[in-house]
Amino acid sequence: MVLAALAMSSLNESQEPELKSAPIEIAVRDVTVSYPVGKNGHKTVLSGLNLEIRSGEFVAVLGETGCGKSTLLRMILGQEFPTSGVVEVDGQCINRVDSRCGYVPQKYSLFPDRTMIQNVMYGPENAYGGWFVRLLPTFRKFKRRLRGEAEQQLLRMGLRAGDFHKYPHQLSGGMQQRVAIAQALMMKPPVLLMDEAFSALDPSTRASLQQQLRAIWQETKPTVLFVTHNTSEALLLGSRLIVLGNYREASQKSNVILDMQLPQSSEPIAVRKLSREFQELSEFVKRRAYGSTPQSEPFQPVQEISSRGDAI
Ligand SMILES: Nc1ncnc2c1ncn2[C@@H]1O[C@H](COP(=O)(O)OP(=O)(O)O)[C@@H](O)[C@H]1O
Ligand SMILES: [Mg+2]
């Protein structure tokens, strides 16, 4: 515990000052989500959830299966709505899917009948306008520029030019996932929602995409919500960690078990992973997130983010 406390104190020193004062990009206010079960029953998934995420934060989200991580992302995306409470992006209540949020699910997100490059170009091309404006010469120019951008995105994701005109079924799952990320980035979304987007990848593809995502975040600072089951991945990529727990009873204040800033470092991911500080932090988070079974220990109430360095 002493080691954990030491790790915590260094977290606050390392919190980037510009993040502290950045505007709030995503606000989840007193959100409850229940689904109907059977004839008259319902199942509560999220309850009393309050979150404020600032522009440019990289929020890694961990939590047991079924605790509502995907539900949370779908609400921010505008694909689903809370039973009560409000979700806002950029100060506006979300009532539909729009281009402010890029979304990468775990798999199967590409159009099967479009090539890789067509998949990546689809979003901006579709947003350009109706058939009439597409007849104008400006559309051809726009498409040329778009193609160049799409190629750059695909190259950055490690795909080779020879694969650009292949269809999803002709490429491995890892390659398809690289395309899905390029596709989400093409719209230059201020918010990037990634739901276990790296879970189905082999370790080396996963490591290379972690590096790329980290570099992209450092360059353009989108607000990222990154759901993962991998504690190390969460701690290495995130600027902040949120751990959600399963809703258990009405007296429970919220699903948030842990909400903390994460130390930032300029060291490469592979080097940081080996540091003693990282190992201790990882142990601490695992203990807090998964260390107690629901049978042996009651649900932990909300812990305030440790911006004052005293909550955890
Ligand atoms: N549309 C739905 N109808 C009924 N139950 C749902 C629906 N979507 C999600 N659930 C339930 O809500 C719970 C949380 O789901 P989810 O957000 O996918 O969890 P997680 O991503 O954390 O594993 C699960 O028990 C799931 O079965
Ligand atoms: Mg999920």
Which pLDDT belongs to residue 287? 87
Mutate-to-test residue for ligand 1 from 70, 242, 255, highest number of ligand atoms within 8 A of CB: 70
Structural domains of the chain ordered from first start = 2-100+191-308 (3.40.50.300), 110-188 (no CATH)
Which pLDDT belongs to residue 200? 85
What is Dmax (Cα atoms) for the chain? 68
Ligand 1 nearest atom to the CA of residue 65, by list position: 23
Which pLDDT belongs to residue 196? 95
> CA 145 to CA 125: how far, in whole Å?
11
> CA 210 to CA 268: how far, in whole Å?
11
Q: What's the CA-to-centroid distance between 79 and ligand 2, angstroms?
A: 14
List Cα–Cα distances, 292 to 72, 259, 286, 295, 298, in angstroms. 23, 17, 10, 8, 8
How many CB atoms are located within 10 Å of the residue 306 CB? 18
Strands (E), 199-255: 223-227, 240-244
- The two beta strands, 24-37 and 41-54, are antiparallel
Closest Cα to atom 24 of ligand 1: 66
pTM for the whole thing?
Answer: 0.86
Closest Cα to atom 4 of ligand 1: 35
Which pLDDT belongs to residue 299? 33
Which pLDDT belongs to residue 251? 65
The backbone region for 276, taken as left when phi is positive above 0, alpha when psi lies in -120 to 50, beta otherwise, is alpha
**Taking the C-alpha atoms of 189, 195, 200 and 202 in order, what is their torsion angle to the nearest 10 degrees?**
60
Which pLDDT belongs to residue 146? 96
- Angle at which helix 116-127 crosses helix 137-156, to 10 degrees, equals 130
Which pLDDT belongs to residue 252? 67
* Per-residue model confidence as pLDDT tens for the chain (312 residues): 444 444 443 444 445 666 778 999 999 999 999 998 888 888 899 999 999 999 999 999 999 899 999 999 999 999 999 999 999 999 999 888 888 999 999 887 899 999 999 999 999 998 888 888 888 889 999 999 999 999 999 999 999 999 999 999 999 988 999 999 999 999 899 999 999 999 988 899 899 999 999 999 999 999 999 999 999 999 999 999 999 988 877 666 778 999 999 998 888 888 888 999 999 999 999 888 876 443 333 333 333 343 333 333
> CA 119 to CA 269: how far, in whole Å?
30
How many residues in the chain?
312
Q: How far does Cα 153 stand from its chain's mean position? A: 19
Q: What's the CA-to-centroid distance between 295 and ligand 1, angstroms?
A: 22
